[in-house]
Amino acid sequence: MSTSEPTTRRSLLGKIWVGLGGLALLEGVWIVTDFLKPRKRQGSDKEAETLIVAGPIENFDPGSVTAFQQGRFYLARLEDGGFLALYRECTHLGCTVPWIGTEERFVCPCHASVFNIKGQVLSPPAPRPLDTFAVRIENGIVKVDTSRTLKRSSFSDSQVARS
Amino acid sequence: MARDTTSDPLGNILSRIYRSIVPRSIIPKTDADRRRTILEFLVLHMRPVRVRRSTLRFTHTFGLGGMSLVLIGLLMASGILLMLAYDPSPEHAYQSILSIQDGMIFGATVRAVHHWSANILVAAALFHLLRVFFTGAYHGPRRFNWVIGLGLLIGILAANFTGYLLPWDQLSFWAVTICTGMLGYVPVIGEWLQAFARGGTEIGRGTLVLFYSFHTTVVPVVLIVLMAFHFWRVRKARGVVSPNPQDSQEDDDTEKVLTLPHLLVRELAVGLTLVAVVVLLAALFDAPLGAPANPGMSPNPAKAPWYFMGFQELQIHLEPLIAVVVLPVLGALGLVLLPYLHFDHEMSGPWFLSKTGRTTGALAAVVSLVVTPLLILIDEFWLQQVGGAGWLAVGAVAAGITAFAVFLSKKFKPEKAEFVQSLFILFMVAFAILTITGVWFRGPGMALVWPWIGGS
Ligand code: HEM
Ligand code: FES
């Protein structure tokens, strides 16, 4: 008893040290990941910055696509009068897709993905339709909320905003 | 002592200061002095006093590890200069590069030295890896040094990739977009990983700050620490592997010569030649700079840097999950575990290990050289017209590789080391061909083109 006591006490202390060391390590990892984590830009949550007022409905002809540089999206008005706000980043690897008016489709310059006016994939490698932003129509004015991109695996009519 | 201070007080104190820093002649005259010089200088004492004569032959190592070290030295020197004049913000980065190029004496040359050293370093480290692999220098006491070397390779690629973004031109902006875009395909954590690497959802200020701080602090520090570890391990393994397979790890004193001058003079010659070549290259060819980054317009085609182009080419042919996750993870795992496989005979020394090693290796190279371009063409002009390479095609390729492996072991009855070497060559040549195809044979829309007919 008297001989084993010092060893157990020592081994207990040793374990406590190891435990504390582990704790300190975890703390370090936590701090580093916290600093590395992407931050929202100051004030970018404010609606004023992310809500784009596109204009009155009449400004957009059915079957037309209008680019909004600042909001990084295209406002597409479908033939039936519904609106879709298509995020301009290709869903393949993130290039910016231009609208080719004469062919009525989006063609990605990077790896040749093709999308139609609804953002549906006509030709791979893009794995899913173009992402969208939420569109609201209030008193005949089209507004686009660019704070969050909406991913979709296929087109459905519920994505289209109508007045 | 006392009489010296009266006769020549200044000269004496200067010489005492000099002697306290440099205790011995830098160019010693006798062998005994040479031995002591090695032991008493900080940098030199990392070397053994004597080395095996047979390891000195240039074609045994091609001095590639030493070249990597010299290139890292050039990178640090030119990098510190660039840091003084570069402005890491999206608004000013491109402009600051322009003023380095046009407004400073030797500005363009310093930038070009940095650019060429960085690219040659990737090549030198890759060839160094091949040298170590093909001389079987990853067994026994060198096992862990192979893993440290892989760490260095990752560090070098990280340094190159984070530096690629800094000019903030169209080339760099879209290359980084595409490479971080690939991260998005990692299952479950992909989106999170991508936001992490970009410092936000899109390439922007956050990305530039992140890349700049990694490029100028974290990565160089990690490289320096790993290099010190790497060199110490070479020393612990009693120098580089002997080219004669029958040599044991024992010290065989009859075969040894003094490090100074025999090894150091050779290293100096290789290092100085390399510096001259890089500076000449930099004086003749400027580092590339495209138009300023424009997030609204992607160039056509948009390509990854050349050392990642193999993966982008793979991505054209295979499902993203296989190309970006499964194959790279398998490859990395294979490289890390290589020294820990069980080899009955840890063959090392001569290039390509043995006669059987050379025969099976050459066969694998030829097969890969023929089959890989064929597969690319089959996929491009047939499979992609009928919906792309599915699991069936992937399975067929895997079956083909297995059949080739079985044929090799039946026909040549190779040692395990020789067998592993042939498979390594098979994959290495395939990856090299994918890289070459991506860099030179892909034009607008990533369609196949002939590089000499107005390609990229
Ligand atoms: C910054 C990059 C690197 C530097 C500066 C470097 C430097 C060196 C040097 C100076 C040597 C002595 C022999 C020679 O010059 O060939 C060496 C040996 C060695 N290197 Fe590297 N190296 C680097 C990257 C790598 C990589 C990517 C690997 C492979 C995974 C690797 C694995 C080894 C091994 C196993 C040895 C011992 C070889 C032998 O004993 O024959 N190193 N390295
Ligand atoms: S990024 Fe658009 S097709 Fe690859």
- B196·A38 Cβ contact <8 A: yes
Q: Inform me whether the C-beta atom of residue B300 falls under 8 Å from chain A C-beta atoms.
A: yes
Residues of chain A neighbouring B195 (CB-CB closer than 8 A): 38
Nearest-by-CA chain B residue for A114: B445
A148 pocket-lining for ligand 2 (C-beta < 6 Å): no
Provide the number of CB pairs (under 8 Å) joining chain A to chain B.
Answer: 69
Distance CA A63, CA A75 (A): 11
My answer on whether A18 and A98 are in the same domain is: no
- Cis? peptide before B301, omega within 30° of 0: yes
Which pair of tokens denotes residue B171? 């080339």
- Give the pLDDT confidence score for residue A70 in this predicted structure: 80
Distance CA B257, CA B447 (A): 57
Residues of chain B neighbouring A111 (CB-CB closer than 8 A): 301, 316, 445-446
- A95·B446 Cβ contact <8 A: no
- DSSP 8-state code for residue B182: H
Q: At A49, is the pLDDT very low, low, confident or very high (cuts 50, 70, 90)?
A: confident
Report the percent of chain A where pLDDT is more than 90.
Answer: 18
Distance B415 CA to ligand 1 centre (A): 25
My answer on whether A84 and A152 are in the same domain is: yes
| Mean pLDDT of the A30-59 span | 74
Q: Is residue A42 part of a domain?
A: no
My answer on whether A60 and A126 are in the same domain is: yes
Distance CA A110, CA B179 (A): 12
My answer on whether A77 and A31 are in the same domain is: no
My answer on whether A26 and A104 are in the same domain is: no
- Give the pLDDT confidence score for residue B277 in this predicted structure: 96
Q: What is the number of structural domains in chain A?
A: 2
- Give the pLDDT confidence score for residue B389 in this predicted structure: 66
- Give the pLDDT confidence score for residue A1 in this predicted structure: 47
- Give the pLDDT confidence score for residue B209 in this predicted structure: 92
Closest CA relative to residue B434, chosen from B386, B344, B390, B374: B374
Q: Is residue A66 part of a domain?
A: yes
My answer on whether A124 and A143 are in the same domain is: yes
Is the model's pLDDT at A45 over the cut of 80?
Answer: no
- Residues of chain B falling short of pLDDT 50: 1-5, 455-456
CATH number at residue A64: 2.102.10.10
CATH number for the domain running over B59-165+203-286: 1.20.810.10
Can you give the residue ranges of every domain in chain B?
9-46, 59-165+203-286, 308-456
Q: Taking CB atoms and a 6 Å cutoff, what residues make up the pocket around ligand 1?
A: B 61, 63-66, 68-69, 72, 125, 128-129, 132, 137-138, 142, 145-146, 149-150, 152-153, 156, 227, 230, 234, 237, 240-241
- Give the pLDDT confidence score for residue B424 in this predicted structure: 96
Select from A36, A69, A88 the Cβ nearest to the Cβ of B196.
Answer: A36
- Are the C-beta atoms of residues B260 and B137 closer than 8 Å to each other? no
At A129-147, the pLDDT tens digits run 999 998 888 888 888 888 8
Q: Is residue A1 part of a domain?
A: yes
Distance B221 CA to ligand 2 centre (A): 35
My answer on whether A89 and A155 are in the same domain is: yes
| Mean pLDDT of the A24-34 span | 92
Report the percent of chain A where pLDDT is more than 70.
Answer: 90
My answer on whether A30 and A73 are in the same domain is: no
Q: At A51, is the pLDDT very low, low, confident or very high (cuts 50, 70, 90)?
A: confident
- Give the pLDDT confidence score for residue B5 in this predicted structure: 46
Please give the number of the atom of ligand 1 that sits closest to the Cα of B155: 1
Is the model's pLDDT at A73 over the cut of 70?
Answer: yes
My answer on whether A86 and A111 are in the same domain is: yes
Nearest CA to ligand 1 atom 24: B149
Interface TM-score (ipTM) > 0.85:
no
Q: Is residue A63 part of a domain?
A: yes
Phi-psi region of A84 (alpha: psi -120 to 50; beta: other; left: phi over 0): beta
- How many angstroms separate the Cα of B395 from the Cα of each of B101, B271, B388? 51, 47, 14
- Are the C-beta atoms of residues A52 and A136 closer than 8 Å to each other? no
Q: Inform me whether the C-beta atom of residue B444 falls under 8 Å from chain A C-beta atoms.
A: yes
- A38·B301 Cβ contact <8 A: no
Ligand 1 mutation pick, B61, B70, B132, max ligand atoms within 8 A of CB: B132
Task: Tell me the residue range of the domain where A60 lies.
Answer: 47-159
Q: Is residue A121 part of a domain?
A: yes
The ligand whose atoms approach the alpha carbon of A123 most closely is 2
Phi-psi region of B404 (alpha: psi -120 to 50; beta: other; left: phi over 0): alpha
Task: Quote the pTM value.
Answer: 0.87
Distance B303 CA to ligand 2 centre (A): 11
Q: Is residue A8 part of a domain?
A: yes
